[in-house]
Amino acid sequence: MPDPTPEKTPEPAPDGRTRLLTALRRPGSRAQLTVALLLAVLGFAAVTQVHANRRDDRYLGARQGDLIQYINNLSLASQRTETEIAKLQETRDSLRNDTESRRTALELARQQAQTLGILAGTVPAVGPGVRITVTGSRGTLGTNQLLNGLEELRDAGAEVIEINDKVRVVAQTSLTDTPGGGVLVDGTVLKAPYVIDAIGDPHTLSTAMDFTGGFISEVEDVGGKVDVQQRDRIEIVSVRQPGTPTYAKPAATG
């Protein structure tokens, strides 16, 4: 008579992954998880070391001649790199020197242009100096007195001269008497009182006006009067347009 109790089919044995998960779910699995992480780190380090050893195998197993060749190639590459670095540094220094030279030349040219502009009367100027006011009756003061006064100022070192805030006096300035009692200065008619502004050493300029037989004496001889004031700041704003020489040309140098 058959057994009425059915036979139970045996359950398959759990694999390793299942056992690991089961173990991690148990109480106290935190310590086990820590151990697992440590094992994973050690495994990764081992794999990394193996790869590193494999990369170095070509050197470990290389012949002496090959190693010497490797060293020579590295030395040549290092020398080429150092040569390139030296060239780049030389180029950098050269560019830096050229820039400094151009900057210095430009600054010198700018200073020279300003100096020449002041002397030629093409730019305004400011500085210490004297203001000379010349008064007199019509017809008594003229070209002779003014011209002598301008020459004395130049001889005393006046760098910039202006008359009546209108005419900039330069090397080519000309003076001519006019029938109306004034003076024609570079095409501009000026009349007394004449105000002469001059930039230079104030003491030297004022002294040059007041010596026996000088400018003040000449003006007083014709009934005029001269007032000289030393000032710390004389501002001259009138300028001249540079002219083109008709006959003179730059001389060849070198």
CB 149 within 8 A of CB 209: yes
Residue ranges per domain, the chain? 121-236
Q: What is the pLDDT of residues 153-195, one digit of tens each?
A: 999 999 999 999 999 999 889 999 998 888 999 999 999 999 9
pLDDT of residue 24: 52
According to DSSP, the residues that pair with 126 across neighbouring strands are: 235
**Residue range 121-129: average pLDDT?**
95
Reported as a pLDDT band with limits 50, 70 and 90, residue 18 is: low
Reported as a pLDDT band with limits 50, 70 and 90, residue 1 is: very low
According to DSSP, the residues that pair with 231 across neighbouring strands are: 129
CA distances from 74 to 52, 60, 80, 219 (A): 20, 17, 10, 93
Q: How many whole angstroms separate alpha carbon 151 and alpha carbon 146?
A: 9
State the chain's mean pLDDT as an integer. 80
Q: Which helix (H) or strand (E) holds 235?
A: strand 225-236
What is the share, in percent, of the chain residues with pLDDT greater than 70? 73
Give the three-class secondary structure for 59. helix
Q: Of 3-12, 39-48, 188-197, which has the strongest mean pLDDT?
A: 188-197
Residue 22 has pLDDT above 50, yes or no: yes
pTM over 0.85: no
**Residue range 9-23: average pLDDT?**
58
Q: Which of 222, 137, 139, 214 is nearest to 183 (CA)?
A: 139
Check residue 123 and report its DSSP letter: S
Check residue 153 and report its DSSP letter: H
Between 65 and 193, the more confident residue is 193
Residue 7 has pLDDT above 60, yes or no: no
Q: What is the pLDDT of residues 206-245, one digit of tens each?
A: 999 988 888 999 999 999 999 999 999 999 999 988 778 8
pLDDT of residue 133: 96
CB 156 within 8 A of CB 145: no
Give the three-class secondary structure for 251. coil
**Residue range 121-130: average pLDDT?**
95
pLDDT of residue 243: 76
Reported as a pLDDT band with limits 50, 70 and 90, residue 151 is: very high
Q: Which residues contact 117 (CB under 8 A, 6 or more apart)?
A: 123
CATH class of the 121-236 domain in this structure:
alpha beta
Q: Which of 156, 148, 158, 152 is nearest to 128 (CA)?
A: 158
